Structure 1
């Protein structure tokens, strides 16, 4: 059995490889975004405390922050992006509130690859079959205004009801944590301005 530390290191190698070989050439550079270099200690602080993986310089010189989430092709049938919500069974009460509560990034890049393994040999030719870049502050604004509602009594998929996006809370099979999922086609239909760039989640006729 792989140790938790080994699994974490492998995930970091996977994420870094996809960032360099897929996300940079296929998403960021076509948008004119260039990586802004940070020291290792600052990168770790932003990641741990604020859920920020990357910092970019936009064409106008403005710095923006991004959280990245990359999935293998096993997730290709899903139409949503997920956030870890809570870990109610965690012994440390301070760590029960997960990613959703700490993330302060300006954007989320969520990409699903066209290969089903995290094997570097497969990833060398990988591309995104689904990918979306979302403006996170605009999502949080929808929650603050009550236009998006997290319903902890429901599970399953998002639904549009009476002018609001209802977001259920789902639980991982091992009971370790819960997560919420934002349905990208619903966001595209009702709040298209939140999507900066996408491919594969919505038909080619979609305009952001």
Structure 2
């Protein structure tokens, strides 16, 4: 689940960020204002309406019900838009002169330059999705759909006592993938943070 959510955020947030940063279309400012407005709304406020929507569509206790609501996040769109808007527009003009369409410009020119931003977004999205507890606890109703954090919380606590050995062993297993992702993308993540304030 966390890998799919991360991949979706990397693709869709970068696409929308590219459109908001480099393209001109009607309603662009309104769309960006909506993204900014969604950043200001706490997730707790949208939790119940989102669950009702997922339940009405019939996605409760399914993998799409766990994944689809989080494939695009306002933070990811904002991060990618800010990073892409700092890239020189001359690169786009050069691609258009060579006859490349917008999709090819995005995949061949823009996306390779967004390594630090993509690494930052990937680490933060993976971390948030991997540690997600409340949404999987509510949406997943069978054991087959439980995430590791939900299963750990439900199975390590008995009726009268907590099994600390199981809890600590499970917590170690939950932390290992996060450490692996950070170690793999550490250099790009630090580059993304270091170049944030540079114009």
Q: TM-score, normalised by structure 2?
A: 0.28
Greater RCO, CA 8 A, separation 6+: 2
Q: Which has the higher strand share?
A: 1
Higher helix proportion: 2
